Structure 1
Amino acid sequence: MENLTRTPFRLTPPGADIRGDYWASASPTGDAALVVCHGFKGFKDWGFFPWLCEQLAERTGIPVVSFNFDGSGVRDSDFDDLRAFSRNTFSRELWDLEAILDGLAAGRLEDLDVAPVTRFGLLGHSRGGATCILKAGLRSQVRGLVTWASISSVTRYESFAEQWDAGETVIIPNARTKQDMPLERNVLDDMRANRERLDVLASAASLRIPVAVVHGTADESVPFSDAWRIADAVGDLARLVGVEGATHTFQAGHPFQGTTPELEEAIDASVELFTRALG
């Protein structure tokens, strides 16, 4: 697509600071937008995300929004707000995503005027996939959903419950940045208080929209069985795309060194779904 632009924006709903990008042609048409959500220890500029957004916008003709969750830990540079990271929750991510969708529906992302949106497509990677499944079950304007390497349950974080209940802070090492990334017990409290609302598979079962469940068969972080569970919960409207031999990030890294066959297979499946659901 000629004249594709990437315009930064910043949303500051109460208690949050959300940085994002709006990818679109100079004169976008239609009433749809795609929203891309990163996962745990991810952010909008990690690795393949800019390439993914560019490809989605170019190949579907639909504007694309990518953003950092308030609790991503990333503001102006790589993990420069670990306090925000330490206190992130799934409910907080759902609120952040709601702020993005509300802004698009209103045609305004704070200081950035955009084409008003009445139909959404969501794409989430890893933990972001679960957030997108939960949001799709709550908002009828979501008409298409793609998950990449998504977790099928938020309860995986309960493995840290003993440490949190003992009053400890959980430390997650970041092998790439060499940082010790803290996690407070907020995420556990959120899961315990909102089990029904945060039930990923129940939300998946409630969906009546096309869904592509994209997952690498060699995913080292989220088992391929999670993809089976999600697709099975959605039922006949789901297409399970097993990318043979693909890792959790589809053989792509950070900084991005170029695309890979596995990544292109994931993008192709996403373009097909969104074109069919929103075209």
Structure 2
Amino acid sequence: MPDDTASHPITRTPFELPSPDGGPSVRGDLHVRQGARPTAAVVLIHGFKGFRTFGFFPTLAQEAAARGFAAVTFDFSHNGIGEDGADTFSAMHLFAEQTHTRNVQEIRRVMDALAGGALLDHGVRSIGLLGHSRGGGEAVLAAAGDPRVDALVTWAAIAGIAERWSPEQVATWRAGGTVQIENARTKQMMPVGPVYWRDVEQNRERLDIPAAAARLQIPWLIVHGDADTSVPVDEGRRLFDAAGEAAELLVVEGADHGFNGKHPYAGATPELQLVTEASLEWFQTHLK
């Protein structure tokens, strides 16, 4: 990723959006170029077992801010990151109760705060979403139901939800049990409780990502690596096939699920540089 921040210092302002039901807050960071008064914002959305300081997210936010956008990174309230902010998931009890429906609602709460002036001293007029992995699928769902979204970018996005799980996992949830998912990075076993599957079954139409993709009329850049073993590139092609004429597909040769980047972040790979530049140019072209 090119470093434009030396000539354009970026301010990072933490924020907290209280839950309307008294539950955990959404915590995030607002990145703005010093002295700028942005009228367009880019919201970055992490995926399953992700968080706002994961890998490329902070640098991507700074690059977006350097180009004049208000850039937001945030943690879903139930992503397992505790109040300490550590990347070792100290709030597993929250992770166990995560749902797609809540995540989509929280994306919209962040947009509410941007459009209504709660994060800036003025409301932005144009919003773009950039989601990675599961966050990409949830960005599609959020964008399809919200006219405030003017442009969309997805990186390695999932194209479906229910089919991701085995019959044994589904049976465990239906019996009221909890499924344990290993985190390959931390080696922790991460619990996903039955509330997750109840949300999927009760909201199948609302959580139908290809159907949401078909409703989208906004400019959408679909980015996927052809060496992705976590979410195969065929899922990116499936989204592209479902999408309207305003969508474009960028398949990155040799790129894995994180576009060959790592956490902790060790600098941009050529693949990350490519997709970052393409994504920011997309927003510069399509956001007012």
TM class by shorter chain equals: over 0.9
What residue in structure 1 maps to residue 204 of structure 2?
Answer: 195
| Superposition TM-score, scaled by structure 1 size | 0.95
Q: Which amino acid in 1 is paired with 2:163?
A: R
Asked if the contact 1:104–1:114 (Cα under 8 Å) also holds between the matched residues in 2, the reply is: no
Asked if the contact 1:171–1:183 (Cα under 8 Å) also holds between the matched residues in 2, the reply is: yes
Displacement of 1:30: 4.3
Gap regions ≥5 residues in structure 1: none
**Offset from partner CA, 1:151-187 (integer Å, 9 cap, x none):** 0011134422112123321001112212111110112
What residue in structure 1 maps to residue 24 of structure 2?
Answer: 16
Is 1:71 matched with 2:72?
no
CA RMSD of aligned residues (A): 1.3
Within a 5 Å distance, the mapping from 1:1-279 to structure 2 comes to 2-14=8-20, 15-58=23-66, 60-75=67-82, 76=84, 77-78=86-87, 79-109=89-119, 113-159=120-166, 160-279=169-288
Asked if the contact 1:157–1:188 (Cα under 8 Å) also holds between the matched residues in 2, the reply is: no
Displacement of 1:232: 1.3
Q: Which amino acid in 1 is paired with 2:280?
A: V
Secondary structure of the residue aligned to 2:47 is coil
Displacement of 1:118: 2.4
**Alpha-carbon distance between aligned partners in 2 of 1:192 and 1:209, rounded to the nearest angstrom:** 28
**Offset from partner CA, 1:22-74 (integer Å, 9 cap, x none):** 0101233342111000000000001111111111221x311100100011111
Asked if the contact 1:125–1:147 (Cα under 8 Å) also holds between the matched residues in 2, the reply is: yes
Secondary structure of the residue aligned to 1:147 is strand
**Alpha-carbon distance between aligned partners in 2 of 1:128 and 1:227, rounded to the nearest angstrom:** 14
Give the count of matched residue pairs: 275
Asked if the contact 2:182–2:188 (Cα under 8 Å) also holds between the matched residues in 1, the reply is: yes
Secondary structure of the residue aligned to 2:222 is strand
Asked if the contact 1:170–1:184 (Cα under 8 Å) also holds between the matched residues in 2, the reply is: yes
Bigger mean CA offset, 149-158 vs 259-268? 149-158
Asked if the contact 2:217–2:244 (Cα under 8 Å) also holds between the matched residues in 1, the reply is: no
**Alpha-carbon distance between aligned partners in 1 of 2:218 and 2:177, rounded to the nearest angstrom:** 42
Structure 1 stretches (4+) deviating beyond 3 angstroms?
none
- Share of identical aligned residues, percent? 44
**Offset from partner CA, 1:179-230 (integer Å, 9 cap, x none):** 1111101121111111111111111111111000000000010010110111
Secondary structure of the residue aligned to 1:108 is coil
**Alpha-carbon distance between aligned partners in 1 of 2:94 and 2:254, rounded to the nearest angstrom:** 34
Gap regions ≥5 residues in structure 2: none
| Superposition TM-score, scaled by structure 2 size | 0.92
Instruction: From the superposition, tell whether residues 189 and 157 of structure 1 become closer, same or farther in structure 2 (CA, over 3 Å).
Output: farther
Displacement of 1:138: 0.8
Asked if the contact 1:13–1:99 (Cα under 8 Å) also holds between the matched residues in 2, the reply is: no
**Alpha-carbon distance between aligned partners in 1 of 2:124 and 2:41, rounded to the nearest angstrom:** 6
Q: Which amino acid in 2 is paired with 1:40?
A: F
Bigger mean CA offset, 153-162 vs 209-218? 153-162
**Offset from partner CA, 1:54-110 (integer Å, 9 cap, x none):** 11221x31110010001111132121101111110000101111111111111114x
